[in-house]
Structure 1
Amino acid sequence: MPGRSGEKVYDAQRRPLTLERLLKSGGAGSVFTLKERPREVAKLYHSDKDARVYERKLQAMLELQPDLPPMEGQGADQVQIAWPMTLLRDRSGRFIGFTMPILDLSATSDLEHVLQERQARSEGLPTGLGAKMTLAANLAVMLAALHRRQHYVVDLKPLNVRFYRSTLFIAMLDCDGFSIQGKGERFPAGQVTTDYLASEFQQPGVKPGQEEAQDRFALAVMVFQLLNSGLHPYAGRPQGATVPSDLPARIAANLYPYARGKPHPRMLPSPVSGHEMFPPALRDMFDRAFSAQARRRPSAQEWATLLLDYARRNAGQLVACGKDAAHQHFVGMPCAACARAELLAGSARAAQTRTRQKPNKARKQRARTAARVAQAQPVTAQASAASGVPGVMSRVTMAVIGTLLLGWVMGWGMPAYRRYSALVDPGIWDGVGLAVQMAMLAIAILLFILFVPMLIMSKRP
């Protein structure tokens, strides 16, 4: 199969095209620049295993093209969607791929990068509500055009969508992976992302005929993230240990905590969310999109109509913030960006205070512990001295002496006393010896009486 620079491929009219630089290579195929057509690129599939299916799918895409022409921006056409232009074949006439308009990747960024303000600022991307509203409206317009031809993205997520930094027009790649409607045949999409997958598709997946419901859900998630500082609509504060911690499980359980009315019994909103500063019409759209009833979800065209009204400057639906010129907010509503900034600043100050207090608390705790030890040592020594309780070595000595004395009393002293009692007429020397023995016996008994109770009553140090 062709796939090297310098090789020839042929378009539908059998005109030869020369492959030049390899731009990228993915799981399905490789993309090359074309010598004869600098404004187009060629995508060649790696294997001919599913060549017949791909050929029919690409033919259906050529016959039902969405109305998404290139847009004028910065003096040049900006391609909105890399839709197929012609089929490609090898020298023998076998289908091998297709051409599509080249999209200037250097002029675009992933939509994912604009969701987080810190990352957006570091990359020089817009952070204001007005720019994000324009991106959301343009995304809805593109999806509405695809849906009119019954084509669906299915794996719709910020990482799969790009936008032109200069004009905020949306740009989409890898369109041959969409779910495509052919003549009496549906070509399904092969990929999904569970964080953007509707509740009814979390387990069984998206079946043919259900793709639009999935696109409607994913679009609503992305609009919510764009207008609410990147916050996912199923992120929040769980109420109870049984609430799932992962987003797909929360989606499956319909745990959307930002609806109007009473709080959700199992989930509370994130404290940094600005949903309460959305106008009622916008909140109602989100409530419909994330309700348990899939049929209530707004269509891409409904989103486009509403969001374009907010995005147009002459409509006056968004106004500049009086406190911060970089902020915009909905007319008649507080500035969500200011509220979020104040909340984050307060959290940062609290964290710094805790950080400063931790070393002080540790030093105070160590000082209190040292004071208790210092106070305990003299008291113990005084109590020991006052009570006459001996120390460890003294008690060991008394234990040895007491044991020897008791042994001596029982083994030698008592037999001596019995012999003394048995004498009828003792001699003088025998009498002296017995007197000495009796004196020693008395001393032993006295020492035993003094030391053994002290040994028993003594306390451990």
Structure 2
Amino acid sequence: MVMSENGRAWSLTERIGSGSEGVVYAVDEARPLVAKLVPEPPDPQAYRRRIARLVRQRREPRTVRLLSATPARVAWPMIGVRAGSRGADGIDGYVMTDMRHAHQPFVHLLTPDARRVLLPRATWATGLAAALSLARLLADLHTEGYVVGDLKPDNLWVDADGGVGIADVDSWQFTDGGETFPGRMGSPGYTAPERIGAPAGTAPDAASDDFVLAVLVHQLLMCGLHPFAGHPADGADYLSHDDNILHGRCRLLDRTSVVLSRSAPPADLLPRRIGDLLRAAFGGARPTAAVWAGALAAESAPGRLRTCGTNPLHTHTVERPWCPWCDLAERAADSYPARPAPHGRDGTKDVKGVRDVSENSVEEKAAWQR
């Protein structure tokens, strides 16, 4: 049971998730709601003030604009609540929209096995749509003065069409009434290089969000592959994505800097415009979320996508002369395999090999790759 300041009570049911600070419970309510409780915030009084300000901002024009979409794009705090006593033993938190009502965890789109089962209609075009939706969402947040700070897959949600939503608003950085509520969180693999190893409390900014946006765009368009994945090619031990970030070990920046498995999607799977923006983002000249939104919208325009003639789940940029997913299928690494064919009249299954109908010769492929 949790209770608000005005005495309203909500019953909690099952525990549905937890993060670095809080625990999320389902709420016994006709509306799709959940409650997040934070047992040990660094400064409980400051945390309560932060939640109160966010609840108040829900009625401000800049926030109303963010919350006007259907389905909801942001799980905004609706009201602050407390579990337990009003003393030191009580736990603070808030009630918010349950994103599961219209979305799935974002990571389902990044993980081939989960995608095949939970998002069976998803194609590379779905990843492109999600990248565009995320870029537009982040651009809108930055326009309204919000910095996410801890942008990562665990805080994001996605629907079957690639629409993206975001939760964990209580960790954002924002200003209210002249007071700045700094962001303080960060996650391994999803932190801009200038914040890795920085003193505790170092505030994020829009540029640090933009770096992580580029990481997520890469993952969405490269079947979950982190852009700083890979074993150091210089013989050094692999330590972490963050270590590779700090040392600039990235295939897009230097193809000789890391060693990846043969099952990794090829770098030339990306449209040239997107590849150029990713190199800029990881090389220091970060495109803003708004720039990303414009580029991803252009790549989503009619005529910019091609569908394989053999497998309708094999979608790729028109710049690619043949199907990259068919190539990966030959290595048993197809991220978008065809669904099982229906039984024929004789009771057998159609087991045609997965090949692009517009086959290119080995020589043509080699010439294009050069």
TM-score by length of 1: 0.61
Per the alignment, residue 192 of structure 1 pairs with 186
Find 1:82's aligned residue among 68, 71, 75.
75
Greater RCO (Cα-Cα under 8 Å, separation 6 or more): 2
SS in 2 for 1:298: coil
* Contact map agreement 1:60 1:181 (CA 8 A) in 2: no
One-letter code aligned to 2:50: K
Measure how far apart 1:150 and its partner are.
2.3
- TM-score normalised by L of structure 2: 0.74
Which residue of the partner structure matches residue 222 of structure 1? 216
Q: Does 1:307 align with 2:310?
A: no
| Structure 2 Cα separation of the partners of residues 89 and 246 of structure 1 | 38
Greater fraction of residues in helix: 1
User: In the superposition, relative to structure 1, how do residues 340 and 127 fare at CA in structure 2: closer, same or farther (>3 Å)?
Assistant: farther
Q: Report whether the alignment pairs 1:240 with 2:234.
A: yes
**Partner of 1:336 in structure 2?**
324
**What is the one-letter code of the residue matched to 2:330?**
E
Going from structure 1 to structure 2, the CA distance change for 1:235 and 1:97 (only over 3 Å counts) comes to closer
Q: Which moved more, 1:240-249 or 1:212-221?
A: 240-249
The amino acid of 1:229's aligned partner reads: C
The alignment partner of 1:190 has SS state of: coil
Structure 2: gaps (5+ residues): 335-370
Superposition map of 1:89-238 within 5 A: 100-105=95-100, 107-165=102-160, 167-204=161-198, 208-236=202-230, 238=232
Question: In structure 1, what residue type is equivalent to 2:282?
Answer: F
How far apart are 1:269 and its partner, in Å? 6.1
Indicate the percent of aligned positions where both proteins have the same amino acid. 26
Q: Kindly provide the amino acid, as one letter, of the partner of residue 249 in structure 2.
A: L
* Paired position in structure 2 for 1:55: 48
Aligned to 1:277: 269
Q: 1:110 is matched by which residue type in structure 2?
A: P
Structure 2 residue aligned with 1:361 = none
Task: Please report how far the alpha carbon of residue 245 of structure 1 lies from its aligned counterpart in structure 2 after TM superposition.
Answer: 4.7
Residues 319 and 328 in structure 1, CA contact (< 8 A), matched pair in contact too: yes
Q: Which residue of 2 aligns with 1:252?
A: 246
Segment of structure 1 superposing worse, 275-284 or 206-215: 206-215
Query: Secondary structure, in 3 states, of the residue corresponding to 1:230?
Result: coil
What displacement does 1:133 show?
A: 0.7
Cα separation, 1, equivalents of 2:110 and 2:128: 12
Distance in 2, Cα, partners of 1:87 & 1:152: 21
The CA RMSD measured in Å over matched residues stands at 3.4
Structure 2 residue identity aligned to 1:50: D
Q: In the TM superposition, what is the alpha-carbon distance from 1:175 to its structure 2 partner?
A: 1.1
In the aligned structure 2, how far is the partner of 1:285 from the partner of 1:270? 24
User: For structure 1, which runs of at least 5 residues remain unmatched after alignment?
Assistant: 73-77, 347-461
Aligned partner of 1:17 among 4, 8, 12: 8
Q: What are the superposed Cα offsets for residues 335-365 of structure 1, whole Å, 9 maximum, x if unpaired?
A: 322222223369xxxxxxxxxxxxxxxxxxx
The amino acid of 2:311's aligned partner reads D
Distance 1:249 1:241 in 2: 14
Q: In structure 1, how many angstroms separate the alpha carbons of the residues matched to 2:300 and 2:14?
A: 35
SS at match of 2:214: helix
CA–CA separation in structure 1 for the residues paired with 2:157 and 2:130: 10
